[in-house]
Chains A and B, each alone.
Chain A
């Protein structure tokens, strides 16, 4: 045989270890389950994050506009607390303190936690986006008789979204990559699933590489999606 020697043996071993990490006992199903949970948590966390982020950002800008110091303070407390404490600690606190009953759905808890966390960052991104819009736009909207909220919705936010899309994309990518922290509240996400399989096969590296490839695929897909979205929004307006 020509095909022998140390290199071939190494390749065979490598193949076997990945085979063992994927196929026997339908182990690929474990990855898929974990992947599903990672995606579910990420998806709903992003939605919740956007909702909270837009709300807090608009409240913050409006509070400055209408000189409501207390509202600014509330928003600042939220943003500072979330940004100033580790995500894992927030997860543990919310899980143990608020969702005390043990039959709560961990995925819901995870999505809510990550959403609340992401909301603070999204709020700051959106606030910066709103403030980047020329104040003449607000004046023009108001001068036509539109209310503050109507102008915000129809004129300011659509323009702000365009400016902040890249930063928002980064935030969502970071969020997806942070989801493995969810394992501290006993959520079996993609990373945890890989760890379990590693502990079964006594070979931890192949499952971790498989998980890494999954994350990579998701993130690349997401950035492609955002780039496409950016391009679609970019029509029409370069001043």
Chain B
């Protein structure tokens, strides 16, 4: 579904991504972990071209998307993204946050989008917050709404960029629960996170990145029980 070929990203003379060739198949839940500065967020942001790769190719559903002739806005409609800082639109209420993109892009009529938004809000138990503004919500609520805002576009894949890193510890659970439910429904997911328990429980594959390379990847069982690379061993020994 997503394929990168020799992906490189350079900031100045700093190689953040150092040639990543990777395939993510439909239905996979890929969790990317690694020390900070290892390039995992940059890798994720390259997948929907929020970050323009310096070199290499990105393919999505059979098309090369880092190409001048591709309408990246159309592609992004199919790739939902969730940010560390939620990035809800503070001047719009929850309902408008969710319906803005589908209606403005002409994918849904106003009523249809509203209905879909209310259905999604019902799913996370926040129907009564429909007319609240983001500043009236807790961090966990904001992030869950950010997730369903992305879901309202009916994406084929969801990208999560450290979705729980900006949350108070007590609110991490509700966001992870929602992500887990999504995974159970068969959504293709790429998740950059520091939540090892989530990786163990939900991932079909765990990747370890260091210095712009994917150093090791495996099924979660093998990955955590039987790490091979010394760098990964060191990393796991520090955090587990």
**CB-defined interface of B122-157 with A at 8 Å, one 1/0 digit per residue?**
000000000001110000000000100110010000
Residues in A neighbouring B146, C-beta threshold 8 A: 140
Give the interface size class of chain A. Answer: 20 to 34
Does any Cβ of A come within 8 Å of B100's Cβ?
yes
Q: Tell whether A137 pairs with B89 under 8 Å between CB atoms, given A145-B101, A236-B133.
A: yes
Separation of A137 and B134 alpha carbons in the complex (Å): 13
B10 adjacent to chain A (CB < 8 Å): no
Q: B residues within 8 A CB of A144?
A: 76-77, 100-101, 149-150, 153
Q: Let me know if A162 is at the binding interface, CB within 8 A.
A: yes
Contact of A146 with B91 at beta-carbon distance under 8 Å, contacts A136-B85, A236-B133, A239-B135 already known: no
Task: Tell me if B90 and A239 are in contact (CB < 8 A).
Answer: yes
B100 proximity list for chain A (CB < 8 A): 144, 146, 154-155
Residue B81 at the chain A interface, CB threshold 8 Å = yes
Contact with B along A141-161 (1 / 0, CB 8 A): 111111100100011001100
Counting CB contacts under 8 A, is B48 at the interface?
Answer: yes
Given A143-B48, A144-B76, verify A159-B87 contact (CB < 8 Å): no
Residues from chain A with Cβ under 8 Å of B76 in the complex? 142-145
Binary per-residue interface labels of chain B (61-92) against chain A in the complex, 1 for a CB within 8 Å, 0 otherwise: 00000000000011011011101010111110
- The number of chain B residues with a CB under 8 A from chain A is 28
Which residues on A sit within 8 Å (CB–CB) of B238? none
8 A Cβ contacts from A142-187 to B: 142-147, 150, 154-155, 158-159, 162
In the complex formed, the residue of A with least CB distance to B77 is: A145
B18 on the interface (CB 8 Å rule)?
no
Specify which chain A residues have a CB less than 8 angstroms from the CB of B134 in the assembled complex.
237, 239
B83 close to A236 (CB less than 8 A): no
Q: Are B77 and A236 in contact (CB under 8 A)?
A: no
Q: Can you name 21 A-B pairs with beta carbons within 8 Å? A: A134-B85, A137-B89, A140-B81, A140-B83, A140-B146, A142-B76, A143-B79, A143-B83, A144-B77, A145-B105, A145-B153, A146-B100, A146-B101, A146-B104, A154-B100, A154-B104, A235-B133, A236-B90, A237-B90, A237-B134, A238-B135
Q: Hey, which bits of chain B sit against chain A, CB under 8 A?
A: 48, 50, 73-74, 76-77, 79-81, 83, 85, 87-91, 93, 100-101, 104-105, 133-135, 146, 149-150, 153
Taking A144-B150, A145-B101, A155-B91 as known contacts, 17 extra A-B pairs with beta carbons closer than 8 A to each other, sorted by chain A number, are A136-B83, A136-B85, A137-B87, A140-B81, A140-B88, A141-B89, A142-B73, A143-B79, A144-B100, A145-B105, A146-B105, A158-B91, A159-B89, A159-B91, A236-B133, A237-B91, A238-B135
